Amino acid sequence: MSKDQFRSRWGFLAAAIGMAVGTGNIWRFPRMAAQYGGGAFILAYTLALFLWSAPLLMAEMAIGRKTRLGPIGGFRDFVGRRYTWMGGWVAAICLLITFYYSVVTGWCIKYFLLAIKGSFRAGVDTAALWSEFLHDRSQTVFFHILAIGLCGLIIYRGIQKGVERVAKLMVPALFIFLMAAALRAATLTGAGQGLTYLFVPEWSRLLQPETWLQAFTQSAWSTGAGWGLILTYAVYTSRREDISQNCLIIGFGDQTAALLAGLAIIPTIFALSPSLDSARAAMAGGNTGLTFISLAQLFPRMPGGMVIAPVFFLAMVFAAFTSLIAMVEVGVKTLMDGGCPRKKGTLLIVGATLILGLPSAIVPSFLDNQDWVWGVALLLSGFFIIVAVWKHGAEKIRRELINPSADIKMGPWWSIIIKFVSPVIFLFLAGWWFYRGIIDNPGTWWKPFGTFSAATILFQWGVLIAVLLLTNRKLARWTGRLPEEVD
C-alpha cells in the first residue's frame, strides 16, 4: 500500500464525513429548517441528497478513483484536454473558498477559547464582544494564521499519518460533542416549542420555491458535492473502493450531523430566549449572529451551560477544521500532480492561504463578498462535474466504474438523474440566485465591486474563466506527472 493512501475504508470515510460536515451543518441548517417550514424543509433537503448531492459525489469519486489525479488532471484525463480548464475552475473555487474559510475556522477557535475561559457570563454583551473581535485585526489575523498553520502541519505529514489520523479522532468526537449538546438542549424546560419548529412540517412551505431552493443549496454546499473534495480524497483509496455505498454514507452522515446540530440549537434558542419574538430574531440574525451572539448569550442561562459552551464550540472547531483540511488537500494534490512534492506543495498552499486570506481576516465585508461570489460558484463547479459525466458517458461510468465494486448497485435511474434532472436543478438554483441578487439589491446589483451584487459575481467569475481558458493548454501539459517521476 502506498504511503499516500488511506490505510482503511474507515479512515477514508472519517475523512470524507469530516470534509462534508462543516460549519454550515451547525450554523446554517438549523436556521434554514426552522425558518422554512421545519419538517417540510427536512423533506426537501433529504430529496436534494438523492437528486443532486449523492449522484454528484458518486461522479466525482469515479473521476478521482479512475484518474488518480486531482481536479485539473482528472478533467483532462476523464473528459479531454480541451476541458482541462473546467477542472481548473473546480480546483480554483475550492482554493478561493479556503482563503476565507481559514479565517472562519479561526473565529471558531477563538470562541472555543472564550468558552473555556468562561467569558460568556450573564450580562455580557455578546454582540459587542463579537463586533470587538471581528474588528480587532491583530486577533482575526492571529487566529487565521493559527488555523491554517495547524492545518498545514497535518497535511504536511501526509494522508495516513496526518489526514486519516486526525479525522479518525476528530470526526467521532464531533458527533459525540453534538450529541451531548443535543441531549442537554432537548431536556431543557420549554424545549418542546423548538422541537415543534424543527420537525413539524408546515406543508404550505413546499408550495414556495424559496423552500426548495434553500433546501437544495444547503444540501449542495453541505455535502461538498461539486467542490472537488471527494474527487481528491478518492485518489487515495483503493481501485476497488465502493463508490455508491461510501457516497451514500457520506450524505447520510452529513444529514445526521445537521439534525444533531438542529437538536442542539433550536430547542436552546426557544427554551432560553425571553420571548418568542427574540427567538425568531435570533434565527434571523444570520449564521454568525446565531452562533457567536445569540447562543453565546444563552449558554449562561442554561443549567450546565458553562460545560456545554466549550463542548459546542469545540464541535464547531472540529467541523470547520476537518473541512479546511480537505480544501487545502485539493490545492496540495493539484500541485503534486504538477510535479511538486507533498511537503513543498503544502508549504506553498499554506503560504498562499495565509497571505490571500489576510484581506478576509482584516475586512469583514471582503469575506462577505468572497462568500457570496464563490459560494454560488460551487453550483457551476457541480455543473462542470455533470458536463464531465455527459462527455465520458453516464452509463459507462455507472456500469464500468460504480457498479462493479458496489455493494449497492445503481440502477439506470442514476444516469437519468445526473444527465437530465441535475442540470435542470442547476439552472433553477443559479437562475434564482442571480434573480435574488438583482431584486434584493435594486440600486446596486449592476456594480462589479458591490459586496452582494449580481455583477460582482459575473465580474469575478468572468476574470477567472478568461484566465483558465487562456491557460488551458499549459494546464493540460503541466498536470499529471507523478511526483516520483519528477523527483
Q: CB of residue 313 vs other proteins: minimum separation in angstroms? A: 24
Beta bridge mates, 481: 338
Number of C-alpha atoms within 13 angstroms, CB side, residue 113?
Answer: 10
Site for other proteins in 382-441 (CB under 8 A): 407-408
Residue carrying C-alpha cell 420555491: 209
Which residues lie closer than 8 Å to 303 by C-beta, 6 or more apart?
188
The answer to the question of residue 252 lying near other proteins (CB under 8 A) is yes
CB 232 within 8 A of CB 49: no
Among the listed residues 200, 355, 424, 467, the single contact to other proteins using CB under 8 A:
200
Residue from 248, 302, 315, 324 that binds other proteins (CB under 8 A)? 248
Residue 319 in the binding site for other proteins (CB under 8 A)? no
Q: Is 139 an interacting residue with respect to other proteins (CB under 8 A)?
A: no
The answer to whether the CB of 253 falls within 8 A of the CB of 10 is no
C-alpha span between 296 and 302 (Å, rounded): 11
> In the complex, what is the shortest distance from the CB of residue 61 to other proteins, in angstroms, rounded to a whole number?
15
> Which window, 82-90, 193-201, 453-461, 468-476, contacts other proteins (CB under 8 A)?
193-201
Torsion of CA 366, 465, 230, 248, to 10 degrees: 90
Does 278 engage in binding with other proteins (CB under 8 A)? no
Which residue type occupies 428? Answer: F
Spatial separation of the C-alpha atoms in residues 278 and 281, rounded to whole Å = 5
- Of 38-46, 96-104, 143-151, 226-234, which segment contacts other proteins by CB under 8 A? 38-46
Closer to other proteins by CB, 96 or 182: give it: 182
The residues with which 338 forms a beta bridge, in sequence order, are 481
Q: Is 195 in the site for other proteins (CB under 8 A)?
A: yes
Which of 156/199 has CB closer to other proteins?
199
Please spell the DSSP secondary structure of 75-114, one letter per residue: HHHHT-GGGHHHHHHHHHHHHHHHHHHHHHHHHHHHHHHH
Q: Cell numbers of 159, please?
A: 494522508
Looking at residue 88, its amino acid is G
Binding to other proteins in span 84-123, by CB under 8 A? none
User: 402 vs 457, which CB is nearer to other proteins?
Assistant: 402
Identity of the residue, 22 or 345, whose beta carbon is nearer to other proteins in the bound complex: 22
7 lies in the binding site for other proteins (CB under 8 A): no
Nearest-10 crossing angle of helices 305-337, 342-356: 120
Of 43 and 113, nearer to other proteins (C-beta) is 43
Residues 315, 321, 327, 330: is their CA dihedral positive or negative? negative
Alpha-carbon span 271 to 266, nearest angstrom: 8
Among 4, 5, 7, 9, binds other proteins (CB under 8 A): 9
Distance of CA 149 to the CA centre of its chain: 20
Q: Please tell me whether residue 255 binds other proteins under the rule CB under 8 A.
A: yes
Candidate segments 126-134, 250-258, 277-285, 344-352, binder of other proteins by CB under 8 A: 250-258
DSSP state of 187: T
Task: Read off φ and ψ for residue 297, nearest 5 degrees.
Answer: -75, -30
Residue 245 interacting with other proteins (CB under 8 A): yes
Considering only residues 41 to 60 of the shown chain, the ones binding other proteins according to CB under 8 A are 42, 46
- Span from 195-203, 218-226, 325-333, 381-389 in contact with other proteins (CB under 8 A): 195-203
Residue that the C-alpha cell 459552551 belongs to:
309
Count the site residues for other proteins by CB under 8 A: 25
Q: Which of 5, 196, 238, 471 binds other proteins (CB under 8 A)?
A: 196
Residues in contact with other proteins by CB under 8 A are 9, 13, 38-39, 42, 46, 192, 195-196, 198-201, 242, 245-246, 248-249, 252-253, 255-256, 259, 407-408
